[in-house]
Amino acid sequence: MRSHPFALPSFVALLGFAIAWAGCGNAGGAPRIEAGTPCVRCGMETRDLRWAAARRVDGRVRVYDSIECALKDALPRGTAAGSELYLADFTTAALHRSDSLWVVRADIPSPMGGGYAAFLDRSAAERVALERNGRAGRLADFVAGEAAAMDAPAPGARR
């Protein structure tokens, strides 16, 4: 009698899947933000956590009231799209890795006027972009534009 040829491999595959799933999102875990924490960039209190963001730097958490503040703080250090940056999912206000979210820049009342919000659900992000005259994409899609804006010479200046 031979045992079922697929019994062992499928068990190993299932185990591997379980380990991968358990490891996903739990490596370090997303930081938590207490409402009222001042934004390290602009000093305003983080009141509505749906707009908030956080970044791990040297074991500490830098809290932002808005994605636009997070970008302005992270961009000069070249770390805006890395695994250390977390944005709030607008639907639940829970923080997630920035590269797992869909980002919208549109006519929406974000705390510092940058018009940024993030969603886990791509269709939610695209709907907001459509209804509020904006666009949706990954954070990396917006980083180049923000970096260019920060490096831009004054109007009329020539290099």
Binding segment for Zn ion (CB under 5 A), chosen from 10-18, 37-45, 102-110, 127-135, is 37-45
Q: Which of 49, 54, 63, 69 binds Zn ion (CB under 5 A)?
A: 69
Binding of residue 33 to Zn ion (CB under 5 A): no
- The residue count for binding Zn ion (CB under 5 A) is 5
Judged by CB, which is closer to Zn ion: 44, or 127?
44
Check binding of 55 to Zn ion (CB under 5 A): no
Closest to Zn ion by CB, 41 vs 105, is 41
Q: How far is the CB of 138 from Zn ion (least distance, A)?
A: 22
Which stretch in 11-19, 40-48, 74-82, 124-132 sits in contact with Zn ion by CB under 5 A?
A: 40-48
Phi, psi (deg, nearest 5) at residue 38: -70, 140
Helical segments of the chain, H only: 7-23, 67-74, 122-131, 139-151
Q: Which long-range contacts (CB under 8 A, 24 or more apart) does 55-64 make?
A: 55/79, 55/84, 55/85, 55/86, 56/28, 56/31, 56/84, 56/86, 57/84, 61/31, 63/33, 63/37, 63/38, 63/39, 64/39, 64/40
